[in-house]
């Protein structure tokens, strides 16, 4: 996500970082490039204009503060303003004082509402809540069946009515069922509609008026860029949105919607879809996203994913072996399996400070094939070879390649990668000792 914008902004700010003194001309030149980068990322023109103006007001004439150089101070200002542009702080879901909390999902057809409804239900379920999904999309063929299928995948009950039942009646009866059966959250999946369709928009207004939902969330496709902002503005005028869920953010190389939507509508981004799996929905943190865009990583999100996905006991055992030089291919294979649970490799690398550039060009498909090949090679090794890779000579490499259906070059490449991982482990340990500066924050 944000690949093009991220690389351009990082290049501009890299030139500023090394300067001992900045002139107004230096700042203006850099901000001109920042403006172009944002416009190319499909960020709203007015949003770009205001954003650049705020940075200029803070940056021009900025004296060195403490040990910071002027260039580093400008980077901090850009980070702060990016964070502010996207909402400042993470916006939590509103909760009704009296259950159930009703969440109304709205948006265009094809924006991913039904899948997002199930993802949101799973997210809330993990937090200890008891959600009920309500199938109020009566217009799209098989929409109810789709919600029932994804609801079953995440283990959440779906409320549906007979064909021909009006959406308002379905939503109301679903809410009554939640009250009667002890569900604390109701997620209403409505039909996709164009914001210019007066009749269908009026239907939404009636549902919102009848249910008084705690949340009216627009589900918008991040890849539509500026159009997503226009849609959000139109829905907001009619429904007073409480928030936005951006889908397909992992596929959005530009980032225009994520950077414009809060400023254009006042509605904060509350969640982002970062993959096709049911658990690929994350709360949106503006400060963390700003850090990712500027190449500073997102260590907190990585830690949160690790806590949810990894086996803590295995992780401690792996760490112990790494530190005692007992790290062989068996441990390498186990580590690969654990990393795969964190999500696509390009996303994981983007969260590690300094590794942003490495992730470019890595696709989920390429990653899956490569990891499968690595697993086959390691499984073709003897136990002794996995534990002591230094004994793998030419004849052993040929045998391993033959047994795994790969080439000797593939085996050589893996052996080289393994040595690089060992070296990386040593670097990570030194980063841990280095504290905040090791985490890649330029003003640390």
pLDDT tens for residues 232-273? 888 998 888 999 998 887 766 566 778 888 888 888 999 998
Sheet containing strand 269-273, edge to edge, reads 158-159, 131-136, 185-190, 101-106, 215-221, 243-247, 269-273, 281-283
110, 139 in Cβ contact below 8 A?
Answer: no
Q: How confident is the model over 89-123, as pLDDT tens digits?
A: 888 899 998 889 999 999 888 888 999 999 999 99
Average pLDDT, integer, range 269-280: 88
Dist CA 11 CA 201 (whole Å): 44
> Tokens 């283990």 map to which residue?
155
Q: Is the pLDDT at 340 greater than 70, yes or no?
A: no
Dist CA 268 CA 92 (whole Å): 10
Q: Which fold has domain 3-85?
A: 1.20.120
Average pLDDT, integer, range 278-296: 83
Dist CA 58 CA 50 (whole Å): 13
Q: Is the pLDDT at 21 greater than 90, yes or no?
A: no
Q: Which of 391, 385, 390, 443 is nearest to 419 (CA)?
A: 390
- Higher-confidence residue of 252 and 407: namely 407
Cis peptide before 100 (omega within 30 of 0): yes
pLDDT (0 to 100) of residue 242: 93
Mean of all residue pLDDT scores within the chain: 80
**Is domain 299-439 classified as CATH 1.10.260.30?**
yes
Least confident of 116-130, 180-194, 313-327, 382-396: 313-327
Q: Identify the CATH number of the domain defined by range 101-285.
A: 3.40.50.300
β-strands 185-190, 269-273 pairing = unpaired
- Higher-confidence residue of 440 and 71: namely 71
Least confident of 34-48, 65-79, 110-124, 407-421: 65-79
Q: Is the pLDDT at 299 greater than 60, yes or no?
A: no
Least confident of 49-53, 63-67, 335-339: 63-67
Dist CA 370 CA 381 (whole Å): 17
Q: Where are the domains of the chain?
A: 3-85, 101-285, 299-439
């Amino acid at each position: 996500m944000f690949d093009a914008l991220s690389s351009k902004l990082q290049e501009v700010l890299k030139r500023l970082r090394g300067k001992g003194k900045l002139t107004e001309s230096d700042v203006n030149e850099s901000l001109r490039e920042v403006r172009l980068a944002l416009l190319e990322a499909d960020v709203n023109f007015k949003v770009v204009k205001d954003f650049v103006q705020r940075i200029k007001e803070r940056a021009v004439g900025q004296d060195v503060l403490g040990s910071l150089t002027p260039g580093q101070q400008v980077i901090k200002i850009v980070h702060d303003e990016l964070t502010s542009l996207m909402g400042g702080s993470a916006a939590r879901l509103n909760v009704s004082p009296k259950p159930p909390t009703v969440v109304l999902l709205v948006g265009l057809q094809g924006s991913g509402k039904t899948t997002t409804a199930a993802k949101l239900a799973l997210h809330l379920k993990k937090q200890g809540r008891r959600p009920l999904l309500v199938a109020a999309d009566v217009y799209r063929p098989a929409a109810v069946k789709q919600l029932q299928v994804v609801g079953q995948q995440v283990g959440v009950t779906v409320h549906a009515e007979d064909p021909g039942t009006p959406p308002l009646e379905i939503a109301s009866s679903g809410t009554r069922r939640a009250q009667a059966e002890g569900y604390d959250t109701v997620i209403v999946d409505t039909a996709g509609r164009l914001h210019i369709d007066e009749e269908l928009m009026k239907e939404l207004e009636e549902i919102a008026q009848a249910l008084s939902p705690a949340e009216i969330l627009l589900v918008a496709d991040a890849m539509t860029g500026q159009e997503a902002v226009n849609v959000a503005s139109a829905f907001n005028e009619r429904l007073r949105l409480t928030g936005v869920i951006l889908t397909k953010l992992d596929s959005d190389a530009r980032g225009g919607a994520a950077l414009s939507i809060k400023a254009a509508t006042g509605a904060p981004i509350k969640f982002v879809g970062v993959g096709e799996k049911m658990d690929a929905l994350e709360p949106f943190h503006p400060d963390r996203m700003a850090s990712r865009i500027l190449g500073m990583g997102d260590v907190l999100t990585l830690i949160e994913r690790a806590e949810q996905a990894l086996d803590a006991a295995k992780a401690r055992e792996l760490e112990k072996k790494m530190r005692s030089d007992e790290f062989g291919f068996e441990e390498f294979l186990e580590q690969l399996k654990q990393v795969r649970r964190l999500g696509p490799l390009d996303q994981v690398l983007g969260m590690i400070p300094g590794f942003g550039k490495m992730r470019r060009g890595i696709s989920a498909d390429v990653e899956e094939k490569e990891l499968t090949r690595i697993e086959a090679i390691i499984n073709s090794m003897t136990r002794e070879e996995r534990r002591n890779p230094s004994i793998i000579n030419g004849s052993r490499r040929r045998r391993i390649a033959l047994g795994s259906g790969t080439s000797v070059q593939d085996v050589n490449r893996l052996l080289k990668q393994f040595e690089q991982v060992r070296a990386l482990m040593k670097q990570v340990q030194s980063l841990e000792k280095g504290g905040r500066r090791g985490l890649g924050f330029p003003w640390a």
